[in-house]
Amino acid sequence: MKINVISGAFEKLKTGAAILPVFEDGKPGRELERADRNLGSMISRLIKQGDFTARPGSVHLLYPGGSMAAERLILVGLGKKSDLTLDRIRLAAGKAAPHARSSGAESMVFVTEGLGLDAEETAQALTEGSILGLYRFLKYKTNGESGKRKEIKAITLLAGQAASVAAMRKGVSAGKIIAESTVLARDLVNHPGADMTPTVLAGQARSLARQYGLKIKVLERKQIEKLGMGAFLGVAAGSIQPPKFIILEYRGGGSRPFIALVGKSITFDSGGISIKPAENMERMKDDMSGGAAVLGAIRNAAALKLKLNIVGLLPAAENMPGGRALKPGDVLCTLSGQTIEIVNTDAEGRLILADALSYACRYKPAVIVDIATLTGACTIALGHEAIGMLGTADQYKQQMRAAGEKTGERVWELPLWENYYDQIKSDIADMKNTGGRAASVITASALLSKFVGKYPWVHLDIAATAWTDKDRPYTPKGPTGIGARLLTQFLRDFEK
């Protein structure tokens, strides 16, 4: 996808579709006024009659005929001017771009005059919204359609003033990198479990390392045994797919301490011996979304050349009910030396994370962030609108919340009070791996907290947000790729 920035008037620009943003209130911008005049007040009439409301996410397609060089004109609503946020701009682009594509356009021009937010950030949001809104995954379609499908090949952002072109170009280049990493995360999750095994995932991490000059180490079963990651090995035991412990290092920060990013990478979660019901089990190929987000974030850090040192840890395994599988009642000895009684083999995420978090401590990190499709209960708590956040580091939780607002990947905190720890007390081991139905987002985190030592730690539960069953403006049905953008914003703020 080619995205460029120019300034000037839009009428003379030949393009498949000109996208014109419209506010519900306030004075229309110069470009909108001129377009309206050229179209004999058609836009004013549309708005007056209520055919186009300019509510966030509303779109309206017009064929302007000879009154301008664009073949199509798409009005896109931004809501009230005073409520405008970067995410609304992202949403508008995410709605407009696929609309332009399905109407047959192969190029688009975005008019950005009068939006009133920071030019660089606006350009980044438009770029992200367009690329993410146009996302589709056609690898497994054989109907021959893929070659014939129309694609948007070029996008032009039209700056309101010549003076903001340079800033907007910066925004576009960051936006492209960042959106493409989310696309990478979505692609990884979209692949069926059979084609995205721990071995394949490790291969993907290796090719990322090669492309961006990262250090990579993949620990094989033998080495994992030698280290003593009993919890991770226990989860992997029921599958014929060997586990891989993927370690990726990006060093751009000189002598700064590492930031550790840990991503749950269960390439398929059947539940193991505590097998899941059949309904929706196919979705459990998304149980490596945390790992995908970490790969995306590290790709961004490297491509944006952030002045940070980052280690990404991906414990990758399949949770299957094979003959050697972990059984309820078994006791596992973790890398930390603490023991865990298995009550339910479907609570496997916290087991692999326990060992990965202990491993993260070896880096003496400034902060550990883990991201995981950890608990179905996260949907009960927050629905599909927010990532559940828990942790021990107030400052970093605050930073994560701000990053969530900025990226539209919003997070909401749940408490990690001492009282909850009673629920995971075991009669036989140091703890048990489930704490019953009550507050299970929290009790899962309570277990994790026992493996982060003294290091500041933020946990993100993306079980409810890694996948969407309905199309959203810049998030089509399927894997959302959530987390890559959030973590990247968190890292960018960390750099300051």
User: Residue 207: in which H helix or E strand, if any?
Assistant: helix 198-212
- 348 touches ligand BES (CB under 6 A): yes
Q: Which residue is nearest to ligand BES (CB)?
A: 376
Q: In whole angstroms, how far apart are CA 40 and each of 34, 46, 51, 74, 388? A: 10, 12, 17, 16, 51
434 binds, options Mn ion, Zn ion, ligand BES, none, Cβ within 5 to 8 A by partner type: ligand BES
Residues 32-71 that bind Mn ion (CB under 5 A): none
Q: Which of 88, 90, 350, 397 is catalytic?
A: 350
- 434 touches ligand BES (CB under 6 A): yes
- 239 touches ligand BES (CB under 6 A): no
- 318 touches Mn ion (CB under 5 A): no
Q: Which of 34, 276, 283, 327 is catalytic?
A: 276
Question: Binders of ligand BES: how many residues, by CB under 6 A?
Answer: 15
The DSSP line for 27-60 is: PPPHHHHHHHHHTTTHHHHHHHTTS----TT-EE
Smallest separation, CB 347 to ligand BES (Å): 4
Q: Name the one residue in this structure whose structure tokens are 């089990």.
A: 281
- 292 touches ligand BES (CB under 6 A): no
- 370 touches Zn ion (CB under 5 A): no
Asked if 19 contacts 72 with a C-beta cutoff of 8 angstroms, the reply is no
Indicate the residue among 300 and 375 with the shorter CB distance to ligand BES: 375
- 286 touches Mn ion (CB under 5 A): no
Long-range contacts of 397-401 (CB under 8 A, 24+ apart): 397/458, 399/490, 399/493, 399/494, 400/369, 400/458, 400/460, 400/486, 400/490
- 128 touches Mn ion (CB under 5 A): no
> Using CB under 5 A as the criterion, what x/- string covers residues 282-321 for binding Zn ion?
-----x----------------------------------
Indicate the residue among 165 and 347 with the shorter CB distance to ligand BES: 347
Q: How far apart are CA 257 and CA 280, in angstroms?
A: 42
Q: In whole angstroms, how far apart are CA 17 and each of 109, 127, 341? A: 6, 16, 60
463 binds, options Zn ion, ligand BES, Mn ion, none, Cβ within 5 to 8 A by partner type: ligand BES
Tell me the two tokens of residue 406. Answer: 């900025």
- 126 touches ligand BES (CB under 6 A): no
- 349 touches Zn ion (CB under 5 A): yes
Question: Which SS3 state, helix, strand or coil, does residue 226 take?
Answer: helix
- In the sheet where 72-77 sits, what is the strand order? 2-7, 154-159, 107-111, 17-22, 72-77, 59-62
Packing angle, helices 484-495 and 165-190, rounded to 10: 140
Segment near Mn ion (CB under 5 A), from 216-224, 247-255, 341-349, 425-433?
Answer: 341-349
- 269 touches Mn ion (CB under 5 A): yes
Among 440, 445, 480, 489, binds ligand BES (CB under 6 A): 440
Contacts of 93 (CB under 8 A, 6+ apart): 19, 110, 125, 126, 127, 128, 129, 130, 133, 474
Helix boundaries (H) for 362-460 = 377-382, 394-407, 440-449
Q: Which residue is nearest to Zn ion (CB)?
A: 269
* Strand pairing report for 72-77 and 107-111: unpaired
Q: How far apart are CA 34 and CA 473, in angstroms?
A: 28
345 binds, options Mn ion, ligand BES, Zn ion, none, Cβ within 5 to 8 A by partner type: none
- 346 touches Mn ion (CB under 5 A): yes
* Strand pairing report for 2-7 and 154-159: parallel
> Using CB under 6 A as the criterion, what x/- string covers residues 53-92 for binding ligand BES?
----------------------------------------
Contacts of 85 (CB under 8 A, 6+ apart): none
- 291 touches ligand BES (CB under 6 A): no
The DSSP line for 94-126 is: HHHHHHHHHTT-SEEEEE-TT--S-HHHHHHHH
Residue 201: closest CA among 185, 214, 213:
185
- Residue 276 appears among annotated catalytic residues: yes
Indicate the residue among 224 and 374 with the shorter CB distance to ligand BES: 374
Give the residues across from 315 on adjacent strands: 245
56 binds, options ligand BES, Zn ion, Mn ion, none, Cβ within 5 to 8 A by partner type: none
- 347 touches ligand BES (CB under 6 A): yes
- Residue 350 appears among annotated catalytic residues: yes
Smallest separation, CB 248 to Mn ion (Å): 24
Q: What residue ranges bind ligand BES (CB under 6 A)?
A: 269, 287, 344, 346-349, 373-377, 434, 440, 463
Which residues carry out catalysis? 276, 350
Q: What residue ranges bind Zn ion (CB under 5 A)?
A: 266, 269, 287, 349
Q: What residue ranges bind Mn ion (CB under 5 A)?
A: 269, 346, 348
